[in-house]
Structure 1
Amino acid sequence: MLASVGEIVVVRDGSGPEILLVHGGAGPRTTWGALAPLADRWTLAYVHRRGYPPSPPPQQRQDFEVDARDLAPLLAGRPHVVAHSYGVLGTLIAAAAAPGSVRSLTLIEPPLNYLVPDDPEVARLERIGDAALTHGMDMDPAELREFLRVAGAPIGDGPLPAGVVAGVRRAHGGRPTSEARPQLEAIRDVGVPVLVASGDHSAALERICDSLADALGGKRSVHPGAGHFVAAAPGFAEQLETFLHKSVR
């Protein structure tokens, strides 16, 4: 079922309690395809962020503050929320503004680099990630490839695939992740159940996820095997469903 909420589109499948799925730089199909079997027991609500059809393009740029405003009305039904990568930023801002409106939060490999200060690997990840947003295909080619590999893009040693180039161009000009400062204490103070998941493919992202779980008083899970696209890793769907069943408040 396709529904327009404001200017963005949400596609729902299944029946049962709602899981709101918020993708990051990759689209919903790539990010969440492995979770499709959960529709037998849950309503999967696939958010399409601005710039990802059938939602409209952003008016100016990809911006986590705009994402938060788009997500706010979707929390009215108090769903479970699962968010990935850049999509975590807007999710946390929206949840912090109304923490009682989310049943639980599952947060996968967000670029919240500020949580791990004075760490050279995290600082490098922040620098190349912001450079990819600021300069797009014009950034240093070696560093672009380094970032794309961390971000899970399907690249080899040859020319970048057309789909990857399109993704870089879509993100070009987006608001840098280094500017995000969600009010984490607002979420922790009301006791929202939180699961922070990672894929054990980047030491910097593991440390970020550890720090985020600590800041939110959340649980941690690590699922190797699918890189940045942790939702596709062996065991993740089962871990998620177990967490959701325990998160009834």
Structure 2
Amino acid sequence: MGEIVVVRDGFGPEVLLVHGGAGPRTTWGALAPLADRWTLAYVHRRGYPPSPPPQECQDFEVDALDLAPLLVGRPHVVAHSYGALGALIAAAAAPGSVRSLTLIEPPLHYLVPDDPEVARLERIGDAVLTHGMDMDPTELREFLHLAGAPVGDGPLPENVVAGVRRAQGGRPTREAHPQLDAIRGAGVPVLVASGDHAAALERICDALADVLGGERSVHPGAGHFVAAAPGFAEQLEAFLRKSVTWQASSSR
């Protein structure tokens, strides 16, 4: 397999940005002003040009293998949605290679067992991966709305349909069980962020922050695309700066 493409912009410590189902521009556009003080490294996951297509399908285990060599320079890692699964697996395999970890609404449903809303979110999300456009149309629209896709009452936009087809066949999120203890045990600074638009996602993020001993922030206003919400960029930069300070003091 060919290597994935990473586009870098800016100056300063590197922040590795790992998108989920939407591409880097949609996911991270609002963070562009941070390039004045940070090197923003935009990862293009397989299937998102100019990176090559996946050999078979979207797979968070393959994402983790792709991300592993990008951790050599010990960047801050910021990961969104499905992309956070691969980022967590890569970070758990080499926690000393991650300066900090920011996780935005990752689909780690198993962290909240016996919750009917979380179970339903997992079911319809994995149905998109399994059946794509052939799944129940009402549930498909429900999931797309939750995922921040521009859907209304009419036919789905062509770019949304293309996104569903790209996701179809992907590895189900229920199979992702990253070694979170390794990350917490290494003392990696963690921020878990959400958009306050779905109760199930809020519970997942609460549970993840608790397991990792991380900070927790909520930023309404942009749905699933939390990076575009008011105040998120400022919160992220404050966390990154604090992580640098904390690690400098702990290494003395």
TM-score range (shorter-chain normalised) is over 0.9
Q: Could you list the per-position Cα deviations for residues 160-206 of structure 1 after superposition, in whole angstroms to 9, with x for gaps in the alignment?
A: 00010000000000000010000000000011000000000000000
CA distance in 2: counterparts of 1:133 and 1:31, whole angstroms: 20
Q: Could you list the per-position Cα deviations for residues 190-233 of structure 1 after superposition, in whole angstroms to 9, with x for gaps in the alignment?
A: 11000000000000000000000001000000000000000000
The answer as to 2:150 corresponding to 1:154 is yes
2:127 alignment partner in structure 1: 131
The answer as to 2:240 corresponding to 1:239 is no
2:198 alignment partner in structure 1: 202
Counterpart mapping for 1:47-196 below 5 A: 47-196=43-192
Q: Could you list the per-position Cα deviations for residues 146-168 of structure 1 after superposition, in whole angstroms to 9, with x for gaps in the alignment?
A: 11011010111111000100000
Given residue 179 of structure 2, which amino acid in structure 1 is its aligned partner? Q
Given residue 113 of structure 1, which amino acid in structure 2 is its aligned partner? H
1:45 alignment partner in structure 2: 41
CA distance in 2: counterparts of 1:210 and 1:180, whole angstroms: 18
2:19 pairs with 4, 18, 23, which one? 23
Answer yes or no: is the 8 Å Cα contact 1:223–1:236 preserved in 2.
Answer: yes
For structure 1, the residue ranges without an aligned partner over 5 or more in a row are none
TM-score, structure 1 as length reference: 0.98
CA distance in 2: counterparts of 1:49 and 1:67, whole angstroms: 7
Q: Could you list the per-position Cα deviations for residues 124-157 of structure 1 after superposition, in whole angstroms to 9, with x for gaps in the alignment?
A: 0000000000000000000000110110101111
RMSD, matched Cα? 0.8
2:28 pairs with 32, 53, 56, which one? 32
Answer yes or no: is the 8 Å Cα contact 2:104–2:194 preserved in 1.
Answer: yes
The CA deviation at 1:7 is 1.1
Size of the aligned set, in residue pairs, is 245
Answer yes or no: is the 8 Å Cα contact 1:93–1:182 preserved in 2.
Answer: yes
Given residue 73 of structure 1, which amino acid in structure 2 is its aligned partner? P
TM-score, structure 2 as length reference: 0.96
Given residue 180 of structure 2, which amino acid in structure 1 is its aligned partner? L
Identity of aligned residues (%): 88
CA distance in 1: counterparts of 2:145 and 2:112, whole angstroms: 21
